[in-house]
Amino acid sequence: MLTAVGLLPMAVAGINIDEVLRGATAAMHEFDFPDISKNQCYRYAAARRLLGDQGRNIELFVSYQPSFAMMGEWLKQLFGESEGKEKKGLFPAYVGFSTDLHSMGQFVQEGSPILFETVIDIENGQRDITVPTGDEGDGLGFLTGRSLSEINRKAMIGTLLAHNEGGVPNLILKLACIDCFHFGYMVYFFEKACAIGGYLLSVNPFDQPGVENYKRNMFALLGKPGYEELGETLLDKLGL
């Protein structure tokens, strides 16, 4: 994401890529030493590996900020594509709480003990809304005057306590806010942790042989020049 392939679309979208790179550079310097007791990036990578060794093979990325949703999708791609090789790697998933608590909360709390949560705690959101005075008939009058950020934080703390009581391991990564600087910082943090995770699994985190397989089949089935023979073979296999 920090190469020209990622930076060009950001620039076109009006994002300050100088600040993005400044944040990434700050993270590069902060995490460029081998002492794991002080290097949060190394500690996160090691914790993921230890939890995987304990049978926690699904990493559930969690955020309480709707603006983080697309970042969650990128984390799935980053870790899934980089580590998922040679029958190894954690399965990455993303949920946006509190919305997904209605669909996933029960499983996380009491389902199969196969996952752990990585909670991205964004301390200051980009916007905030105060709950106005309304009809007390809905029983939500106690929220009047409270901000959505406060409600979200209480939801996060309550959920963390519940899931901890349910025996679900939780890793909490704190981020001051979402701006261009912290975005770049966060991207570098996760990319480095992912690379370390691949090496801890003894896989190459920088290739994607499985992705190339499905691309090749897709090109053949769509009749891309140079793939005609493979396309006929695949159609025969499918009985078409």
Catalytic positions, please? Answer: 81, 102, 215
- Token pair for 29: 């310097």
DSSP code string of 52-104 = HHTT--EEEEEES-GGGHHHHHHHHHHHHHHH--TT-SPEEEEEETTTTHHHH
Count the alpha carbons within 13 Å of 31 in the hemisphere toward its beta carbon. 22
Give the SS3 label for residue 48: helix
- Token pair for 162: 């519940």
DSSP 119: E
Torsion of CA 89, 91, 94, 100, to 10 degrees: -150
Beta partners for residue 92, in sequence order: 59
Question: Rounded to an integer, what distance in angstroms lies between the CA atom of residue 76 and that of residue 84?
Answer: 11
